C-alpha cells in the first residue's frame, strides 16, 4: 500500500521575507508622506479661499435682501474674517460707521447684527508677496481710535471702494480675493505668480495655478 507522502514545500513567509516586505512598505510610506501633506495643505488653503469668497457673497446678498449696508472686516491680529450688518453708529440715530457696535436693548436687525466669522487655519496668514499690503484698498474707518480698511457693501449690490485681501503660507503661495468693479462687487480669486510678478485668476489668459 502506497503511503501518502507529506509535502516538504515550505508554507507562509520566512522571517527574512517578512522583514523585506515591511522595509519596502516603510519606504513607500515615507515617500508618500510629503505628497499627502502637500495635498492636505492645498485642500486647506482652497477651503479658506472658498470661505473668504463666500463671506463676501453672503454680505452682499444680505445687503440687497435687507436693504442695509454690510461690512466684511479683516482682523489681522486675531487672524479672523468677520461680516456684519451695519445699521447705525453708537446710537440708532447715528449713520452707519463701518464698525460693529450694536445698540444695547434694540430689537434684532434694528441695529448692527452679526452675519458670521471664521479664523484662519494654522499655517496660513494675512500675507502678501514683495512689498504689497495684506489689505489693499477698501474703505478706511475709525475703529475705537484705530484706522482699518473694511469692505462695505451697499443695498444696490455695489461696494463703496474696491479692494483686495491677501492670504499666504510659508511656502510662498499667495492668493488675493479682490472685489471689483465698484458697481457689481464681483468676487475675483487670484493667485500670485513670481515669474510674471502679478496676480492671475485660474485660466486667465491660459494661466494655470502652480503650487509651491
Predicted local distance difference test score (pLDDT) of residue 7 = 52
Q: pLDDT tens across 99-144, in order?
A: 999 999 999 999 999 999 999 999 999 999 988 999 999 999 999 8
The domains of the chain, with CATH numbers, are 15-206 (3.55.40.10)
Among 1-5, 24-28, 117-121, the range with the most confident prediction by mean pLDDT is 117-121
pTM of structure = 0.82
Predicted local distance difference test score (pLDDT) of residue 89 = 95
* Residue 80, pLDDT above cutoff 70: yes
- What b/e string do you get for 147-170 counting C-beta neighbours within 10 Å, with b at 16 or more? ebbbbbbbeeebbbebbbbbbbbe
Average pLDDT over residues 34-61: 86
* Residue 13, pLDDT above cutoff 90: no
Spatial CA neighbour of 126 closest among 144, 147, 141, 148: 148
Q: How confident is the model at residue 161 (pLDDT cuts 50, 70, 90)?
A: very high
Phi, psi of 32, rounded to the nearest 5 degrees: -85, -20
Quote the CA–CA distance of 20 and 58 in Å, as a whole number.
56
Q: How confident is the model at residue 11 (pLDDT cuts 50, 70, 90)?
A: low
Q: How confident is the model at residue 43 (pLDDT cuts 50, 70, 90)?
A: confident
Q: In this structure, is the dihedral angle defined by the CA atoms of residues 66, 79, 198 and 138, taken in order, positive or negative?
A: positive
Q: How confident is the model at residue 38 (pLDDT cuts 50, 70, 90)?
A: confident
Q: Write out the E strands in 76-162.
A: 80-85, 113-119, 124-126, 135-137, 139-143, 146-153
Contact by Cβ (8 Å): 203, 75:
no
Predicted local distance difference test score (pLDDT) of residue 186 = 96
* Residue 158, pLDDT above cutoff 80: yes
Average pLDDT over residues 2-26: 62
Residues 6+ apart with CB under 8 A from 169: 41, 45, 123, 124, 125, 127
Predicted local distance difference test score (pLDDT) of residue 30 = 64
Residues 6+ apart with CB under 8 A from 55: 72, 81, 83, 116, 118
For residue 34, give the C-alpha cell: 510629503
Q: In this structure, is the dihedral angle defined by the CA atoms of residues 126, 138, 203 and 129, taken in order, positive or negative?
A: negative
Amino acid at each position: 500500500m502506497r503511503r501518502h507522502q507529506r509535502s516538504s514545500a515550505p508554507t507562509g513567509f520566512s522571517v527574512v521575507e517578512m522583514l523585506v516586505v515591511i522595509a519596502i512598505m516603510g519606504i513607500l510610506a515615507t515617500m508618500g508622506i510629503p505628497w499627502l501633506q502637500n495635498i492636505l495643505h492645498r485642500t486647506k488653503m482652497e477651503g479658506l479661499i472658498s470661505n473668504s469668497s463666500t463671506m463676501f457673497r453672503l454680505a452682499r446678498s444680505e445687503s440687497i435682501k435687507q436693504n442695509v449696508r454690510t461690512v466684511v472686516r479683516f482682523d489681522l491680529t486675531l487672524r479672523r474674517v468677520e461680516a456684519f450688518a451695519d445699521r447705525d453708529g453708537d446710537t440708532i440715530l447715528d449713520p452707519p460707521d463701518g464698525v460693529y457696535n450694536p445698540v444695547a436693548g434694540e430689537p434684532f436687525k434694528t441695529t448692527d447684527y452679526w452675519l458670521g466669522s471664521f479664523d484662519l487655519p494654522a499655517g496660513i496668514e494675512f500675507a502678501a508677496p514683495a512689498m504689497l499690503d495684506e489689505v489693499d484698498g477698501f474703505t478706511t474707518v475709525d475703529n475705537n481710535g484705530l484706522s482699518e480698511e473694511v469692505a462695505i457693501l451697499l443695498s444696490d449690490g455695489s461696494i463703496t471702494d474696491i479692494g483686495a485681501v491677501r492670504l499666504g503660507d510659508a511656502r510662498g503661495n499667495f492668493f488675493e480675493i479682490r472685489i471689483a468693479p465698484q458697481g457689481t462687487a464681483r468676487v475675483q480669486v487670484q493667485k500670485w505668480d513670481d515669474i510674471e510678478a502679478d496676480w492671475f485668476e485660474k485660466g486667465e489668459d491660459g494661466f494655470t495655478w502652480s503650487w509651491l
